[in-house]
Structure 1
């Protein structure tokens, strides 16, 4: 399960109630943790990035009209809701499954090579042959330049 990740997020949640709260530092730390847990393109990261205080004259006027301070800071409330939902997700569903890097490479190879070439490479990878790197290289060298370029491009983008 994701005990360590949940503990880190609970710490960030508790920091929202500290007297000496530094929003920018909290936001930076939270983004680092979420990126590590969920990856760079996760929607939770975008939600935290979008959190900000509005210091426009209209916002300040509305705050003054509503009283000196509100009972709850809306930015902290939103941050709290995001973290609470994230913790519930981790408790219920666990960590997101990262696809094994080697599995990604094999899938790309299967897309771009013939079945025979994939079987040959697979047999070489599993063998104790001292020349397997050279033999795999030879198989890849026999690919058309376009196919090899496409394979490398897909590997870089995966």
Structure 2
């Protein structure tokens, strides 16, 4: 069921091993994919956003003292762990249920409202209006009254 999403995340996992790895570009792509899969408020997005290289003198000193090599890059290791856990979650549990619930809601709305009303509510849902939830509720109240009175 989540094959496409898993494939996207596996591609991002493979990009961690590229010679010309750009952390910021990788993070941008990964955040876009994770937001699409899990939504804007998922903790995985925060984990990816927090990935960064620490160039402080203490960090550089500790790295040199420990003799860490390129293939043990702590940022890439952390990124890899996050993606592997995410892939395992999708393989085991499937997609989050919120997506399916949204699809059910849209189906119900399409069954009950006229085509024009569906287009209006879709446009409102896609808008950047800060009060779109309130306006959507008001729209549905008035639309359903009109629908059931006719």
How large is the RMSD of aligned CA atoms in angstroms?
2.9
After superposition, where does 1:1-158 map in structure 2 within 5 Å?
1-67=1-67, 69=69, 71-97=71-97, 98=99, 99-100=101-102, 103=105, 125=112, 152=134, 155=137
Give the direction of change, closer, same or farther, for the CA distance of 1:102–1:75 in structure 2 (3 Å limit).
same
Which of the pair has more CA radius of gyration? Answer: 1
| Alpha-carbon separation, structure 1, partners of 2:41 and 2:23 | 22
| Alpha-carbon separation, structure 1, partners of 2:39 and 2:79 | 19
TM-score by length of 1: 0.64
What does the per-residue CA deviation read over 1:77-101, in whole Å, with 9 as the maximum and x for residues that have no partner?
1100100010011111111122227
Give the direction of change, closer, same or farther, for the CA distance of 1:103–1:71 in structure 2 (3 Å limit).
closer
What does the per-residue CA deviation read over 1:14-60, in whole Å, with 9 as the maximum and x for residues that have no partner?
00011111111101100010001100000110111111110111101
Give the direction of change, closer, same or farther, for the CA distance of 1:101–1:2 in structure 2 (3 Å limit).
closer
Aligned residues: 117
| Alpha-carbon separation, structure 1, partners of 2:4 and 2:73 | 28
Instruction: Flag structure 1 segments of 5+ consecutive residues without an equivalent.
Output: 107-121, 134-150
Greater per-residue helix proportion: 2
Instruction: Flag structure 2 segments of 5+ consecutive residues without an equivalent.
Output: 118-132, 139-150
Give the direction of change, closer, same or farther, for the CA distance of 1:92–1:102 in structure 2 (3 Å limit).
closer
TM-score by length of 2: 0.67
